[in-house]
């Protein structure tokens, strides 16, 4: 766990890894979305609008997975004072917020032709909107605390506590009556109610977006570390 504690060692791995993740993710996304748009079948009920699934679901997974990673990093920062953990949590916040917003917008664009409405205050939609607000609050809190020269401990506690929203989002469709449909894919049981011809482009798209997300997080971590180096040098001068 402490292998990456040393920023120099981290950068040695992160520098070559960034373009690899970025390009492989980007190419996979383009291929998966091309299949999703043109080669995959329409749904028996939703018709063509099922194609929104290939961007909506990966965005939702990354929005939720992003906060999970942010909470783990916050936990490591609080317990082990891991020097890179705070940098990682901050680096995840902006892409996590971006994909949560993409999830909400594409979901609205799917909801209109399918349900007949852009937005309803059901448990799934509302808890996902709360996730976006949590990301925005985290970013604002982080900015404010860094301006005061704090260690970011309050931000880390907020990141950890905010993680309770993740299981709420996940189980909202089972626990409450929601307009949003139940989950189609269960990784725990290894089952899916999505036909294979639609599942493969979806999983490929999700993998591609995840790789690209990783590249963005590495870029933001490298930027933060470089900025830290500059600030430390300026203070010594």
Partner 1 sequence: MSHWGFILAAYAVTGAGTIGLVAASWTAMRRAERQADALRGER
Partner 2 sequence: MKAKNQRLVLLVLAVAAVLGAVLLAMSALKEQAAYFYAPADVARQGPPQDRNVRIGGMVRKGSVRRAPDGVTIDFLVGDDSPHLIPVRFKGIVPDLFREESGVVAEGRFQAGGLFVADEILAKHDENYMPPQLDVKTGEHKSESLK
Q: Which residues bind partner 2 (CB under 8 A)?
A: 41-47, 50, 53, 75, 78-80, 113-117, 120-123, 160-161, 163-164, 168, 175-179, 181-184, 193-195, 197-198
Report how far residue 12's alpha carbon sits from residue 5's, in angstroms, rounded to the nearest whole number: 12
Report how far residue 62's alpha carbon sits from residue 95's, in angstroms, rounded to the nearest whole number: 9
Candidate list 105, 129, 137, 194; residue touching partner 1; CB under 8 A: 105
Angle at 137 between CA 235 and CA 162, to 5 degrees: 110
Ramachandran class of 190: left when φ > 0, alpha when ψ lies in -120 to 50, beta otherwise = left
Our CB check for partner 2 shows the closer of 24 and 192 to be: 192
The helix/strand/coil state of 191 is strand
Within 114-173, the residues that bind partner 1 by CB under 8 A are none
The CB-of-107 to partner 2 minimum distance in angstroms stands at 12
Interacting residue ranges for partner 1, rule: CB under 8 A: 22, 26, 29, 33, 37, 47-49, 51-52, 55-56, 59, 94-95, 98-99, 101-102, 105-106, 109-110, 112-113, 209, 212, 215-216, 219-220, 222-224, 226-227, 229-230, 233
């Amino acid at each position: 766990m402490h292998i990456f504690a040393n920023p120099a060692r981290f950068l040695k791995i992160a520098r070559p890894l960034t373009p690899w993740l970025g390009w492989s993710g980007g190419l996979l996304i383009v291929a998966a979305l091309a299949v999703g748009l043109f080669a995959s079948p329409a749904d028996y009920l939703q018709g063509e609008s099922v194609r929104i699934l290939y961007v909506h679901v990966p965005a939702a997974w990354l929005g939720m997975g992003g906060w999970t990673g942010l909470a783990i990093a916050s936990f490591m920062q609080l317990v082990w004072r891991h020097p890179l953990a705070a940098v990682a949590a901050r680096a995840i916040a902006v892409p996590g917020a971006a994909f949560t917003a993409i999830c909400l917008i594409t979901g609205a664009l799917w909801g209109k032709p399918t349900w007949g409405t852009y937005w309803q205050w059901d448990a799934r939609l509302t808890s996902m909107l709360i996730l976006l607000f949590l990301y925005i609050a985290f970013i604002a809190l982080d900015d404010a605390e860094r301006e005061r020269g704090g260690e970011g401990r309050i931000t880390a506690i907020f990141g950890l506590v905010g993680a309770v929203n993740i299981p709420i989002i996940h189980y909202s469709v089972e626990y409450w009556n929601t307009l949003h449909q139940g989950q189609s894919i269960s990784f725990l049981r290894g089952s899916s109610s999505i036909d294979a011809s639609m599942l493969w482009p979806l999983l490929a798209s999700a993998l591609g977006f995840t790789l690209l997300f990783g590249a963005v997080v590495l870029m933001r971590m490298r930027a933060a570390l470089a900025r830290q180096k500059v600030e430390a040098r300026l203070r010594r001068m």
